[in-house]
A and B are shown apart, each in its own frame.
Chain A
Amino acid sequence: MGRTFRHVLGRCLSPLVIWLAVVGSAQALTEVRDQEQILAAGTLRVAVYRDFPPYSFTVEGEPRGVDVAIARELAADLGVELRLHWLAPDETLGDDLRNAIWKGHYLRPGQIADVMMRVPYDRDYAFRMNALGEVENELVHMFAPYQVERWQLAYDAERLDGVASLALFQHHPIGVQIDQIPDFYLSSAFRGRLNAQTHRYRTPRQAFQAMHDGEVAAMMAMRAQVEWLLGEADAPDGRYRLADEAFPQLGKRQWQLGLAVHEVNRSLAYALEDTIMRLIRSGEMARLYAAYHLGYEVPAMYRSLRAAEDAPP
């Protein structure tokens, strides 16, 4: 609150992580559609983050991105039309799930999606309890991991020979997106000694442009964001390189992203999961990613499935 909220909230509410212990009465007004209703309506409403390349964004009004491409496949396999539900990120994932899946945003009550993209597939998170012993996200089913994500550092090889250690950025400027994890991380790593060289930008694209313009020597963002920016860049081969940096004390080094539906919608989840598995097995998923200059790494769950299927009887 302050917050901000703090705002909150009051403020402005706060950037602290919140949870809502109270399920508001607006829930009763929210219509969760089951698979039959979706088929009858002929549309699948899929929530994607807005302005979030290379996952979901628009170019001259046309939806683009890997999440949009996957969403098209989800709708096509159900034999219905895709309706994108563009989502502005709230303070935490729990807020996004509330806004997109089970309640709707308080300015747009009842306006929810059938499925949300880019939701972590993480048992610890999915079953986490709040201070009252209630499962925080009990109204949400998270499933079908389709991407592995991690933090990534890219540097300008015309300025740096390599990144042996983050300590390098005591002396060389590095760009990050403001208010995102790399920002907080670099602000405090090495007891704050990288803070003075940390430059903050509104978007990863602006951080990349700053590297292109020589303002910073490196940038840090999620791997797919970095790969996309490098792939789109008009630069001689080899000028920008990925660093293999471990990022000590950053928490999870990698995590998986999947889909989410309302907890009551299990049969819809099975159908959607079938599409994800089809895309992965056919190699179509890797092609969708390659279209945005992204490498594709099959999530661990499908690797073991494939191993089991491939094993001799």
Chain B
Amino acid sequence: MIRLGTRTPFALTTLVASLVMAGAAQAAVTDDDIANDQATPDDVVTNGMGWRGQRFSPLETLNSDNVERLQPAWAFSLGGEKQRGQESQPMVKDGVMYITGSYSRVYAVDARTGEELWQYEARLPQGIMPCCDVINRGVALYEDLVIFGTLDARLVALNKDTGKVVWRQKVAEYEEGYSISAAPLIVKGKLITGVAGGEFGVVGRISAYDPTNGEPLWTRPTVEGHMGYVYEDGEAIENGITGGEAGKTWPGEMWKNGGAAPWLGGFYDPEIDKLLIGTGNPAPWNSHLRPGDNLYSSSRLAIDPDDGSISWHFQTTPHDGWDFDGVNELISFDYEEGGEVVKAAATADRNGFFYVLDRTDGDFIRGFPFVDEITWASGLDDNGRPLYNDERRPGDPREGGGEGESVFVAPSFLGGKNWMPMAYSQDTGYFYVPSNEWGMDIWNEEVAYKQGAAYLGAGFTIKPLNEDYVGVLRAIDPRTGETVWRYNNYAPLWGGVMATAGNLVFTGNPEGYLMAFDARSGEKLYEFNTGSGIVGTPITWEMDGEQYVSVMSGWGGAVPLWGGEIGKRVKDFNQGAMLWTFRLPGQAASEGLVSR
């Protein structure tokens, strides 16, 4: 039974009331707060701990000298019977933490005590079949609203003090296979969201809404041939066809249903004033049905936040035949070369290559493998286009060939890196990339059935490349392609990473540990068992003069769903739903200061 609306425990009523009253004195989240998030460590009001998504905190109170004294401050259970796959990044503002849970739930928690202030559970339609599991990756904060996307592809805005619904907006039809799992993005007073959708027939799009009332502002399809629109006074006005015209990189009418769902959302770079958003794989999965590059599938797009027009694109896997996707985050950073500042952006793709682009125009600067084994391509050409190994493209099931003949591809379709965000340290200049070493066998099947129909299908199974580890946390120098250090993990890594000016790198693993590493050497300095697997992303902030770290714990997400030989490694991990918060006691911090 799904509980509707909000629940405010009686005992907390007075507390909430006092918070509401105090709210007058507390500033709501402003555009300036969002723009300056990375530089203001007393709050976390953006997904990515800053517009660019670097997940780098300038705080150094907690550092590699004292992290061993980090202590749990409180933990909060999300409750309910259904607990799995907590991929949310917490947000903090004025002593309140906002998180989402799986199954389209939102919680506000007192950041000092861990006490619940309110909880909201979305009413989901009967018989809903979301494409992409039940996870959610977090909220957006704007003014006095807490905004998130639901499994049935809606945006819901809640009052930050009461959890009451202020507005709702349907982004896409859940019955057609659309869903939302990513955290929305606020840019220049606009709320930006993508959509998830796994079925053929889905067309990806990015949309902007007025965050104060949910009214649409613009929408941009991510498949060539579809018209984009801007809305004025509720009226849709044509704003150019994506890619100029239909049929340039798709055969026949295939562009009408091309996939390319931007399901992970994205980030914003204020210097170039562009949204940087990745797109999913093309549909259908059998690449032999759709010769051509299939734009803009498996790409990174730079999009004008004012009207949704596409400024440039970079396609990591043209004519994707391996389900690699191109949604992984593209993170802006600057570096010096020959005395000049290079305005770059980097991404670690599902396909196993790490790309450094010129973020002003999307030009390829360099690319290199960031995983140990890539079989589907022998490398990248001067423009960053893959040099395919044609024999490693899965065959056309209709060609037959019989069972038993399989193609081995590394990385697997779950990717050298999946959704879990990497971090960039402004101190070391390294990217800290949560990656996995796995491949997949793909073969044709003579017998397959779908909804009462027989067909020639394809089967696959995912395999670890090594007996003793799948996950690898890597420190990568984007200027050289060098892996400076690596940490091997038995289970696949599925949680995000954070770097701090305290020479620390944080991440969690499915085994349940929150871990801290020396950012320069990779030495593991701290670990704490949170009781269930970590597939969320840590944050850090400062409150009452002390530095805090928070992370969601709760195993789930895609890995346990896909089974195979990987499933054997993770089947005994318990699912769950806890929000953990850690604190460096003030005394430890000052001692650390002395010892430094």
Contact = CB atoms under 8 A, between A and B. Distances in A.
Contacts of A55: 452
Nearest to A5: B198
A275 interface: no
Interface stretch (A118-126, A234-242, A276-284, A297-305): A118-126
A291 to B, nearest CB: 19
A122 to B, nearest CB: 6
A238 B394 CA distance: 44
Contact of A7 (B257, B263, B453, B457): B263
A12 B280 contact: yes
A135 interface: no
Interface stretch (A72-80, A193-201, A205-213, A263-271): A193-201
Contacts of A222: 452-453
Interface stretch (A30-38, A39-47, A83-91, A160-168): A83-91
Contact of A15 (B134, B263, B284): B284
Contacts of B442: 16
A6 B124 CA distance: 21
Contacts of B325: 1-4, 6, 11
Interface stretch (B333-341, B483-491, B557-565): B557-565
A296 interface: no
Contacts of A183: 200
B284 A179 contact: yes
Interface in A1-35: 1-22, 24
B455 A251 contact: yes
Interface in A176-200: 178-181, 183-185, 187-189, 192, 195-200
Nearest to A251: B456
Contacts of A92: 448-450, 457
Given A109-B82, A125-B447, A195-B252, A6 B458 contact: no
Contact of A107 (B128, B557, B563): B128
Given A2-B280, A96-B451, A178-B200, A7 B131 contact: yes
B441 interface: yes
Nearest to B251: A195
B199 A179 contact: yes
Interface in B208-266: 251-254, 256-257, 259, 261, 263
Contacts of A9: 131-133, 198, 557-558, 561-562
Contacts of A185: 398
Contact of B197 (A12, A14, A86, A251): A12
B39 interface: no
A222 B290 CA distance: 24
B524 to A, nearest CB: 27
Given A6-B323, A19-B563, A195-B254, A251 B132 contact: no
Given A11-B196, A179-B200, A184-B455, A16 B400 contact: no
B280 to A, nearest CB: 5
A4 B280 contact: yes
A24 B85 CA distance: 14
Given A7-B132, A9-B133, A249-B398, A15 B198 contact: yes
A253 B563 CA distance: 32
A200 B284 CA distance: 13
B452 A10 contact: no
A306 interface: no
Contact of A184 (B257, B286, B460): B286
Contacts of B413: 1-3, 6, 14, 16
B324 to A, nearest CB: 7
A229 interface: no
Contacts of B414: 1, 10
A105 B129 contact: yes
A132 B461 CA distance: 9
Contacts of A10: 132-133, 414, 418-419, 557-558
Contacts of A180: 450, 453
A88 B176 CA distance: 12
Contacts of B283: 4, 15
Contact of A19 (B263, B398, B454, B459): B459
Interface in B103-141: 103, 124, 127-134
Interface in A147-167: 149
Majority DSSP secondary structure for residues of B touching A: loop
B2 to A, nearest CB: 9
Given A179-B199, A187-B252, A195-B252, A20 B286 contact: no
Contact of A6 (B132, B134, B256, B396): B132
B288 interface: yes
Given A15-B199, A131-B564, A89 B132 contact: no
B253 A198 contact: yes
B561 A192 contact: no
Contacts of B446: 124, 251
Contacts of A88: 127, 129
A265 to B, nearest CB: 21
B362 to A, nearest CB: 22
Contacts of A118: 451-452
B132 A187 contact: no
Given A12-B131, A16-B285, A4 B253 contact: no
Interface string A200-234: 10100000000000000000001000000000000
A192 B251 contact: yes
A196 B253 contact: yes
Contact of B124 (A11, A13, A107): A107
A110 B129 CA distance: 16
Contacts of B197: 4, 12
A47 B300 CA distance: 42
A278 to B, nearest CB: 23
B567 A16 contact: no
Interface string B257-294: 10101010000000000000000110111101111000
A93 interface: yes
A131 B565 contact: yes
Contact of B289 (A124, A130, A187, A257): A187
B42 interface: no
Interface string A115-141: 000101010110010111000000000
A215 B197 CA distance: 28
A13 B558 contact: yes
A49 interface: yes
A152 to B, nearest CB: 12
Nearest to A180: B453
B429 interface: no
A195 B396 CA distance: 15
Contacts of A11: 131-132, 196, 198, 261, 263, 280-281, 325, 327, 558
Interface in B557-586: 557-558, 560-565, 567-568, 571
A50 interface: yes
A115 to B, nearest CB: 15
Q: Which of A10, A118, A183 has the most CB of B within 10 A?
A: A10
A58 to B, nearest CB: 13
Given A15-B199, A20-B563, A50-B127, 8 more contacts: A9-B557, A11-B132, A13-B131, A15-B283, A90-B129, A187-B290, A188-B288, A198-B253
Q: Give me the 9 closest cross-chain CB pairs, A-B, nearest first.
A: A4-B198, A179-B200, A2-B281, A21-B563, A10-B558, A195-B252, A131-B461, A2-B325, A93-B449
7 contacts: A3-B325, A7-B263, A11-B196, A17-B448, A21-B565, A184-B455, A185-B398
